[in-house]
Chain A
Amino acid sequence: MSAIEILDLEKSYLVGFWRKRPKLALRPLRLTIEEGEVFGFLGPNGAGKTTTLKLLMGLVFPTAGTARILGMPMDDPQVKSQIGFLPEQPYFYDHLSARELLTYYAQLSGVPAKACSSRVEQMLTRVGLIDSAGVQLRKFSKGMLQRVGLAQAILHDPKLVFLDEPMSGLDPMGRREVRDMIQQLRAEGKTVFFSTHILSDAEALCDRVGVIHQGELRGVGAVAELTSQKKGQIEIIFYAQTVPAGLTQLGADARISGDMVNAVLPEEQQDAALEVLRRERLKLISLTPVRSSLEEYYIQKLQPAEVPNDIQHQVRDKENRKGAGV
């Protein structure tokens, strides 16, 4: 059974003051996420990531299409007891302490009264907030609030967790903690669907990613496949103060960084490059094939939208030249 099955979900809003016209926030989206998968939903700001999550959470209603979550229609009330959600830049009732807030959410999620207290304490310990559990949330830092957000999302032991930009605005330590948390969730067999525009996080955590741009899903792929494709190039790193002339002659693209040189050159030049290093008595640090990165895939998937603009420019240039009699 698929954890999430999105079937042509579409959302448009009416904008304008006098003459209302529809603005498409999400074009028909068709996407399937398997159980136990960590799926990264990538896209720039305003791409439609949060809209998709809000649609799945029932916070906004679709213009068309539907989705099935854990085999049930997305508007089935039973679904909500099996999912957890962390909104982007979460804001909680700041008059409550972390303990009070989690207790409230546990009650709303239907955690049995007897288990409520122990579950809350367990969560506070897990996210490292047990020492400040009694402090009102208005005194919490952004990182601490994010941890509270994660705790409330997994408090009721959901099968599926939705995280909207979980690393956004966090310092490196905070980001690492969130990454660890997602990895723990994966180890527990949970399905995680998270949106982000931080590609390194997606590359480190996700089994698959989907790229969305201007409300349109541009592509879906397995991270392992996307980042394992060889590009017919090798990267050599060695100790040196200057780039050997022999290496430049082989067509290497080299840059010096401190007492090391990093050179990228065609794969077929590998033996010749190593021979140059031997001849010059230079110490090799590493030699690795250059693989495609998630960033390249992401940028490539964002491109098609820009192509029509380029074509438009070219057409316009042609027309201008014609008009000028060139």
Chain B
Amino acid sequence: MNSRIAYIAFNTFREAVRDRVLYNLIAFALLISGAAILVGDISIDIERLVVVNLGLTAVSLFGVVIAIFIGIGLVSKEIDKRTLYTVLSRPVRRWEFVVGKFFGLTGTLVVNTFFMALGVLLALLYVAHKFEKMDVWVLVALYFIVLQFFIVCALSLFFSSFSTPLMSAVFTFALFVIGSLAEDLRGFARITSGAGGWLVTAIAYLVPNFSALNVISQVAHGDPVPGRLILYNSLYALLYSAMAISGAVLIFQRRNLK
């Protein structure tokens, strides 16, 4: 990685880690894991299912909230507070700044996910008393959640490159919700004909397919995740994030920093 991108990424990471709101969200996610234990305790024979379902959903939702919450302010906050002026007046290209910010935020989320996942795994160990072979799929589900975060980060950066933080949050969250229903949307597109069918198909394939990245229910039941899906999802997340980041860079390159 270009050293300037690494410095910007590290500074973004450091800023996020020193932000107290972040700790509150993590604490909340750990609380949810604790709640999962409680619910698991009163759910006879399906403790594991409840803990994995609730725990991973909490990790995913809180991670997405953190990604949007920080992502929308990554660029706009720097413009508003004019901290960007002293960065861009150095030999730093605008694309390096955007990419550095992206890596800083995804790095933050990976570390956060690690701690939140630790909470879920401890809850799982508490109710099941030991880890089983099928628990490895929980790790795959966590990996997919991280891939979701990559896309959400890229999208929030994209929207914040041309819109206000509030609107960026609305756009990103709306896309997350629609994307979580992408498989249903694609199914709907298949049974719709005419111009409407074309439109729905275009939307169904344009929105990020978060439903393909959600295997929580599957792994909660102990079902394996096909290796092909892991490969496809990895490539999909990489490409989608790269496209969103490229869009953010293209817009930011032309932007006047008034």
Contacts and interface: CB of A to CB of B under 8 A. Distances in A.
Interface of A: 13, 54, 57-61, 77-78, 80-81, 83-85, 87, 89-93, 95-96, 100, 104-105, 107-110, 149, 152, 156, 162
Interface stretch (B79-87, B119-127, B240-248): B79-87
Contacts of A60: 256-258
B15 interface: yes
Contacts of A108: 4, 7-8, 87, 90-92
Contacts of B14: 95-96, 100
14 contacts: A58-B88, A60-B256, A80-B91, A84-B89, A85-B86, A85-B89, A87-B82, A87-B85, A90-B86, A91-B81, A92-B86, A104-B11, A108-B87, A110-B91
B254 interface: yes
Given A93-B11, A108-B90, A54 B257 contact: yes
Contacts of B19: 95
A77 B91 contact: yes
A104 B91 contact: no
A84 B19 CA distance: 29
Contacts of B87: 108
Interface of B: 3-4, 7-8, 11, 14-15, 18-19, 81-93, 254, 256-258
Given A61-B256, A93-B11, A87 B88 contact: no
B106 to A, nearest CB: 19
A81 B4 CA distance: 13
Contact of A107 (B3, B81, B84): B3
Given A104-B7, A107-B7, A108-B4, A92 B89 contact: no
Contacts of A105: 86, 90
Given A54-B257, A95-B15, A59 B7 contact: no
Contacts of B258: 13, 60
Contacts of A87: 82, 85-86
A59 B15 contact: no
Contact of A59 (B11, B89, B91): B89
A81 B88 contact: no
B76 to A, nearest CB: 14
B94 to A, nearest CB: 9
A263 B85 CA distance: 50
Contacts of A110: 91
A92 B91 contact: no
Contacts of B89: 57-59, 80, 83-85, 162
Contacts of B83: 91-93
A228 B243 CA distance: 63
Nearest to A103: B7
Nearest to A25: B258
Contact of B18 (A84, A85, A90, A95): A95
Given A90-B82, A92-B86, A59 B92 contact: no
